[in-house]
Amino acid sequence: MNRYPRDFRGHGPNPPDAAWPGGAKIAISIVLNYEEGGENCLLHGDGQSEAFLSDIAGAAQWPGQRHWNMESIYDYGARAGFWRLHRLFTEKAIPVTIYGVTSALARNPEQVAAMKAAGWEIASHGLKWVEHRDMPAEEEARQIEESFRLHEEVVGEPPLGWYTGRCSMNTVRLTAETERLAWISDTYDDDLPYWAEFGDHDQLVIPYTLEANDMRFATAPGYITGEQFFQYLKDSFDTLYAEGLDGRAKMFSIGLHNRLIGRPGKFAGLKRFLDYAQSHDGVWFPRRIDIARHWAAVHPHQRIERPGRMTRERFVERFGSIFEHSPWIAERAYDLELGPAHDSAAGLHSALARVFRSASRDERLGVLNAHPDLAGKLAAAKRLTAESTAEQASAALDALTDDERATFQRLNADYVAKHGFPFIIAVRDNTKASILAAFQTRIGNDTDTEFATACGQVERIAELRLKDQLP
């Protein structure tokens, strides 16, 4: 089975109404990453110093050595930056979510106490602030479990949310499979939460951000001044707020680090933005656990039978009649590179239509000839497929007068005699009058034109049938 795992569809063209509390037009999730004391350092049992997200230009790891400058920059985040940010958020009554590296939290008890006193959510940022990309899955699972244990020991309760950040291809699966988390955030793929399925477990995902994030003060291309950061946050806010006013409310994540945004010049940009956001009505500042609880209550997960996960037998059983009496199209479509994008009507229609279009002319002619005449003998004898019966009834072709039925039968016979296949039209797009008009017009076309037209109508009929079955 050839299956593609990445999901390019998500919520699709019509995302759900977030329905934020109080009719809020936007939900702003402020995340403060607490990593100071959990980064790469010989003191922490690592083989090298840290090199990620600091004000040291071109920083590189020092194997087997401590890096005094790097350590002192991280120290600034704990000693000064955190407290500046703590005062700002508590004064503005804005709750935040902490992404807390568990080993860092253990080394910063005063800051943890301040987080708890402020009512902030303390989520897990993994056991250590290190790269996980090459870590064996078994070791990463062990560290996840140890992080749960230590987090509860240090904070007093287990985390309900998780973001590793420097993750592996296994991180999302491993954290979801714990079945202990209300939300996970190691994705950057949407402006709204969504559900992901892992076996029998439904896991809520709240996507995070790497662009509305002060880490870009330490990466290229990035921000140089606090004003640049403010402007980017403002532009993002203005876009999302306008969408909310139009009835398409979204979530806006903002990622912060004590050692970065906690510096005075950068901090000024953040403060200016918060002042700006709070000057608007309908702005909700939730913790991520608040978003998770809201989404689970308002948008609980509804499992569907997904085409990309079906057996061949079930796939053909379910979709073999989408193209009239032509299950071979579904059989061939099953062997394509299907994925989450094909679990919708539009997606699966694309796969089935690809098979139809790439088939030989004789095969496509067979599909055309599988279609019944409109208001013909099969309809009169009630021998149409359930789909065709419903379609013809939608235009009242099952309730014709004797004269109308005679007209259709004459046109059917003349059309087949000229072109060699029945007249095909997507009945549900038409009325009895427009069908008759098209019949009378198209019968005069050349056969090649009609063949192409009929094939297009076959695809349209298939599309409408799929929309009855899939989102």
Low-confidence winner among 387-396, 400-409, 452-461 (lowest mean pLDDT): 387-396
Which amino acid makes up residue 331?
Answer: E
- Distance of alpha carbon 55 from alpha carbon 70, whole angstroms: 9
Per-residue pLDDT of 174-223, as tens digits, reads: 999 999 999 999 999 999 999 999 999 999 999 999 999 999 998 887 88
DSSP for 176-235, please give it: HTT---SEE------SS-EEEEETTEEEEE----SSSBGGGGSSSS---SHHHHHHHHHH
pTM (predicted TM-score): 0.91
Looking at the structure, give the CATH architecture of the domain made up of residues 307-467: Orthogonal Bundle (1.10)
Once rounded to an integer, what is the mean pLDDT over residues 292-299? 98
Once rounded to an integer, what is the mean pLDDT over residues 281-310? 97
- CATH number for the domain running over 21-298: 3.20.20.370
Give residue 381's pLDDT band: very low, low, confident or very high (50, 70, 90): very low
- Within 10 Å of residue 77's Cβ, how many Cβ atoms? 28
- Within 10 Å of residue 109's Cβ, how many Cβ atoms? 10
In this predicted structure, what is the pLDDT of residue 372?
Answer: 85
- Within 10 Å of residue 164's Cβ, how many Cβ atoms? 26
Would you give the DSSP letter of residue 98? Answer: E
Residues recognised as catalytic:
371
Per-residue pLDDT of 298-352, as tens digits, reads: 999 999 999 999 999 999 999 999 999 999 999 999 999 999 999 999 999 999 9
Share of the chain above pLDDT 90, in %: 79
Domain residue spans of the chain: 21-298, 307-467
